[in-house]
Chain A
Amino acid sequence: MTIRACLVDELPPGSSRIVPGGRFGIGVFNCDGDLYAIANYCPHDGAPVCLGPVTGTTQSDGSYQASWIDEGRILRCPWHGWEFDMRTGKSVVSPTRRVKTYPVRVENGCILIDD
C-alpha cells in the first residue's frame, strides 16, 4: 500500500510532519534534501518518537574525546532520549533495537511512502 504524504514543496529541508499510516502514524522528515519515513513509535517504551528533535550524536576513541557526528541524521526520542539513526532506524545505544522505517520516494512532486 502506498501512502501519499504531502507535496515535496510542503516539506522543506529541516522540516517534518506526521501523516496517517501504520498503527501510530508515520513521521516524514526532510534532512538536507534526504527524505526519511519513520513509524511514530519508540521500540523502547512506545513514545511518539517522531516528536523528538532531529540532532546529531557523539562518538569517542577514548575517555574525554568526544566528536560530534551525524548532525541532522539522529532522531532523539522525546521521552527517554534514546537516539536512532534515521537512515537505518537502528538505536545508537542498543543497535539490536530499531524504529520501523519505510521506503520513501518522490513522484510528480509528491512524497510517497510504501507501507
Chain B
Amino acid sequence: MTEIIDAAAHPFPANQDDIRAYMEEPLAHLRFPGLDGYFYPAPEEEYATDLAPDGGPPGSDPVLAARHLLDGAGARAAILLPLTRGLLPDLDMASEVCAGTNAWLAEQWLEHDPRRFFGSIRINPSDPPRAIQEIERWSGHPQMVQVAVPLQAHQPYGQRTYRSIWECAAGHGLPVAVHADALGGNEFWPTSVGYPVHYVEYAAQYPINYIVHLMSLIAEGVFEDLADLVFVFADGGIDMLFPLLWRIDSDWRPLRSVTPWVKQAPVDYLHDHVRFCSQALEGPTTDAERAPWLESVDAEHLLMYSSNYPSVASQTPAAFADLAVDARQRVLGQTALETYPRLRAALAPEHQTDEA
C-alpha cells in the first residue's frame, strides 16, 4: 500500500494576536506586518475559502486541517510549514516572529495531533547566532523535522554568512526548507529585472528564484563541506530545474579551477542534497503528458508530494496516479521518509507494529 506523506502544508494563525501571544517583550506589544501585507495580493483568494473554519481564515483550524489533509487525502503524516513575515528590517523582530511562530505551532498544532502533525523550525537567516539558538531550542522536539527559511533573501543562501546555520541544521538531521514567505518586509524586486504588474506574472515567476539559491549552494561548496545537508525547495520549481542547471553544468568544466571545491558537476549534487515539493502550477496540463514529464524531471528521486494546503493551488495524491507504481510510492511518501530522518524515526515504531 502506498504510504502518503504530505511534505508541505501551511497552517495559519486565526489572527495576528495568536502569534503575538507566544512572543516575548519588549517586542511582543509592537506592531509587525500582517498576513495580508503582500505587495502582490492575489486578486481574489489565494487560499481556498471552503477550507476556512467558522470565523477564521483558511488553514487556521487544526481539527479541520487534520480532516482535510490527513483523513481526506489518506495521508499518514503532514509536515507543517507556517509562514512568517519575510525580511523585516528589524532583525530582532523578525527573529521574535519566528520564535513566536514556533511556539504557536508546537502548542496549537503539533500537540493537537502528535502522531500525524510534524513541524518546521522557523528561523531568521539574517541573524545567524539567533537562528542557531532557535534551532537548538527546538532540536529536541520529536515532531520538529526541518528548518524553514524564506525564499526571499538579501544574499543567496550559499554565501558564507549563512554557513554556521546550515551546519547546525545538518548536525541535527534537519533538512532546510525554502518557501516564499508572506511578504511584508524590505523585499527586493520579485524578479531580477523589476516589478511585474499583475499577480499572475508574479505567481508564475517568483518561485523560480530558488535556482539562485541552489546555484549559490553548489558554487560555494556548501554541499561538499556539509555532506548531510539537504535543501528542500518547498515552493516547487522542479519543472525548471534541469534546463537551468544545464547552464551551470556546461560552464562548470572550463571554470572549475576558480571554484576547485566544487568537485562534481553541479547536477551530481541533486540526489544527495536537493528535494522539491510538488506544486500544482507546474508541468503539462494534459494527463497523457504528465507521467512522461514526471519521469523526465527525475520525480522519482527529487520530488515529494505536498498539498500546499490551504492554497487554491492545492494538490491531491491523485495528481500522481499515472506514474509507475514504484515512482508513485516514492513521490507520495517514500522519498519524504528518506529525506526526513526525524520523521522516519517518529513513524518507525508504527511500521514495526504494522508489519508484525
Give the complex CA separation of A70 and B115 in angstroms: 58
Complex Cα distance, B163 from A62, in Å, reads 13
Interface pair A66/B260, CB less than 8 Å apart: yes
Nearest Cβ distance between residue A82 and chain B, in whole angstroms? 6
Selected interface stretch from A29-37, A53-61, A105-113: A53-61
Contacts of A22 in B (CB 8 A): none
Inter-chain contact B222/A63, CB cutoff 8 Å: yes
Q: Which of B7-15, B21-29, B249-257, B306-314 contacts A (4 or more CB under 8 A)?
A: B249-257
> Are A63 and B255 interface neighbours, CB within 8 A?
no
Q: Judge whether B261 is part of the interface by a CB distance below 8 angstroms.
A: yes
B256 in contact with A64 (CB, 8 Å): no
A103 to B55, CA, bound (A): 84
A-B contact list, 22 entries, CB within 8 Å: A57-B260, A58-B257, A58-B258, A59-B260, A60-B221, A62-B224, A62-B225, A62-B261, A63-B160, A63-B220, A63-B222, A63-B261, A66-B260, A66-B261, A81-B253, A81-B254, A82-B253, A83-B256, A83-B257, A92-B257, A93-B252, A93-B256
Taking CB atoms, residues of chain B closer than 8 Å to A57 are 257, 260
Residues in A64-88 with C-beta less than 8 Å from chain B: 64-66, 80-83
B160 close to A64 (CB less than 8 A)? yes
Chain A CB within 10 Å — which of B258, B260, B261, B263 has the most? B260
Give B residues with C-beta under 8 Å from A: 160, 220-222, 224-225, 252-258, 260-261, 263
Given A63-B221, A63-B225, A64-B221, does the pair A58, B260 have CB atoms closer than 8 Å? Answer: yes
A96 at the interface (CB under 8 A from B): no
B222 A80 Cβ-Cβ under 8 A: no
A38 to B256, CA, bound (A): 22
- A residues near B261, Cβ cutoff 8 Å: 60, 62-66
Interface hub of A60, A63, A66, A81 (most chain B Cβ within 10 A): A63
Contacts of B263 in A (CB 8 A): 60
The interface residues of chain A lying within 8 Å CB-to-CB of B160 are 63-64
Residues of chain A contacted by B255 (CB below 8 angstroms): 81
Q: How large is the interface on A (under 10, 10 to 19, 20 to 34, 35 or more residues)?
A: 10 to 19
A94 contacts partner chain B, Cβ-Cβ < 8 Å: yes
A80 to B258, CA, bound (A): 14
> In the complex, what's the smallest C-beta–C-beta distance from B219 to chain A, in angstroms?
9
Chain B residues near A80 (CB-CB < 8 A): 253-254
Contact A62 B253 (CB under 8 A): no
Bound together, the chains give a CA A66 to CA B261 distance in angstroms of: 8
A61 to B, closest residue via Cβ: B261
Q: Whole-angstrom distance from the CB of A75 to the nearest CB of chain B?
A: 13
Contacts of B221 in A (CB 8 A): 60, 62-64
Min distance, Cβ A85 to any Cβ of chain B, angstroms = 13
Establish whether residues A63 and B224, one from each chain, have CB atoms under 8 Å apart when the complex forms.
Answer: yes
CA of A37 to CA of B225, assembled, Å: 38
Q: Which residues of B contact A93 (CB under 8 A)?
A: 252-253, 256
Q: Which residues of A contact B258 (CB under 8 A)?
A: 58
Give residues of chain A (32-48) contacting chain B, Cβ–Cβ below 8 Å.
44
Give the Cβ gap from A105 to chain B, nearest Cβ, in Å: 31
Closest to A69 in B: B260
Interface centre among A44, A80, A93 (most CB of B within 10 A): A93
- A93 and B251 alpha carbons, distance in the complex (Å): 12
- Bound: A13/B336 CA distance, A: 59
Chain A residues near B254 (CB, 8 Å)? 80-82
Q: How far is the CA of A80 from the CA of B252 in the complex (A)?
A: 10
New A-B pairs, 18, CB < 8 Å, besides A62-B221, A64-B221, A82-B254: A58-B258, A58-B260, A60-B221, A62-B225, A63-B220, A63-B221, A63-B224, A63-B225, A64-B261, A65-B261, A66-B260, A80-B253, A81-B253, A81-B255, A82-B253, A83-B256, A92-B257, A93-B256
